[in-house]
Amino acid sequence: MCGLTGFWNFRQSTSEQLLAVVQSMAAEIAYRGPDSFGGWCDETLGLSVGHRRLAIIDLSEAGAQPMISRSGQSVIAYNGEIYNAPELRAELIVKGCQFRGRSDTEVIVEACEMWGVHAACQRFIGMFAFAFWDIAKKELFLARDRVGIKPLYWGFNQNILFIFWSRIISHYKEQVPLKI
């Protein structure tokens, strides 16, 4: 199943604070991904992304998330399955993309980086929700499949925090800013 979470804090925070909060948020959805937790943050911008993993396609560490693209220019946390990932992978390889593992997550992050998020999403066949951070452009994209099979919720909290999650967690409404 997997689950993703994250936030963009508009106050100054350390990497340790950002990762502690995103780990706490991910603990709330541990049932969605019992195999592992991963976190990533950009301290200078206050952005933090977390992921709970249910390893199915690529059981190796090469499938761990949040995943950084091969170029190091993008980060993704993703939930779902892209049914046409093998075809997209083959097309990306022809265009010069090199892969470290076999996960569809890696196909998504490389496709979004090569073709742009909107164009890549138009080509994905499957069920998905993801948070994609373009490090160079400092742009955050939240996307989900056309039918909305995989949940993705987002919102603001007291004008200091933008939160996104694989499920609605109402009791974090007051707690997250206090922990940062």
Catalytic residues: 2
Residue 7 CA to residue 49 CA, distance in Å, equals 7
- Residue 104's CB is within 10 A of a number of other CB atoms, namely 25
- DSSP bridge pairs for 165: 5, 153
53 contact partners, CB below 8 Å, separation of at least 6: 2, 33, 35, 36, 37, 38, 63, 64, 65
- Residues 44 and 59 sit within 8 Å (Cβ to Cβ): no
As given in the structure block, the two tokens for residue 22 are 């995103």
| Positive/negative CA dihedral, 57, 80, 78, 39 | negative
